[in-house]
Amino acid sequence: MFTGIITDRACVRSVEHSGDTRFVLSTGYDTATINLGTSIACSGVCLTVVEKGADEEGNWFTVDVSGETLSCTTLGNWGEGTMVNLERSLRLGDELGGHIVSGHVDGVVRVTDITPQGDSFLYTFEAEDDLMPYIAAKGSIAIDGVSLTVNWVEGGRFGVNIIPHTQDCTTFGSLKPGDRLNLEIDMFARYMARLLEKE
């Protein structure tokens, strides 16, 4: 489980295609504190650390990604140099600063517009029709692993405000219209919808 509060930005160091796809990510985390088998949310996708280390280029860890995950997320577009939002898994007693995030991506959204609003930016996203019923104004969502509050919803689009801190500390600062990101809908919205289907 995660909270959607990003604590590091990684860079894809290398990509290996052999069976599953293996990504090596540079990180600011102290890899001595990361156990093999640990889950880390990588731009919203819960992945398992299979190798780790440190060298002259800094700390790094490795994750293996299946074809299913590549097809359902944006990870299939990752290449050397891609920047990735990171969050380590929630531990008992940690502050829950965002909302409960599972790291299971529901779909991909596309940036359609970025508009300055004061010191912040209004990001408009377009989502598939089957995801829109789960997105509500003032509700929580995670986009590329970042816990966000939805400002408005209209048709197949919705908007969120990104404050300067989030711009600076996540990959949002480098986004442009047309970019695709991972979306995880609010867990409670998912289960509520499931319950209503049974009525």
pLDDT for res 40: 98
pLDDT per residue over 127-184, tens digit each?
Answer: 999 999 999 999 999 999 999 999 999 999 999 999 999 999 999 999 999 999 999 9
Q: Name which CATH class applies to 107-197.
A: mainly beta
Task: Pinpoint the residues of the chain covered by CATH 2.40.30.20.
Answer: 8-88, 107-197
| SS3 assignment for the chain | CECCCCCEEEEEEEEEEECEEEEEEEECCCHHHCCCCCEEEECCEEEEEEEEEEECCEEEEEEEECHHHHHHCCHHHCCCCCEEEEEECCCCCCCCCCCCECCCCCEEEEEEEEEEECCEEEEEEECCCCCHHHCCCCCEEEECCEEEEEEEEECCEEEEEECHHHHHHCHHHHCCCCCEEEEEECHHHHHHHHHHHCC
CA 136 – CA 127 distance, rounded (Å): 13
pLDDT per residue over 96-133, tens digit each?
Answer: 666 788 899 999 999 999 999 999 999 999 999 999 99
Give the pLDDT band of residue 195 (cuts 50, 70, 90).
low
Residue with tokens 């404050």: 163
pLDDT for res 186: 84
Q: Across residues 21-41, what is the average pLDDT?
A: 97
Average pLDDT, rounded, for the chain: 92
Assigned CATH for 8-88 = 2.40.30.20
Residue with tokens 């929630």: 90
Give the pLDDT band of residue 19 (cuts 50, 70, 90).
confident
pLDDT per residue over 62-97, tens digit each?
Answer: 999 999 999 999 999 999 999 999 999 977 666 666
pLDDT for res 117: 94
Is pTM, for the whole model, over 0.85?
A: yes
Contact partners, residue 110, CB within 8 Å, separation at least 6: 125, 126, 178, 179, 180, 181
CA 72 – CA 20 distance, rounded (Å): 14
pLDDT for res 1: 82
pLDDT for res 187: 75
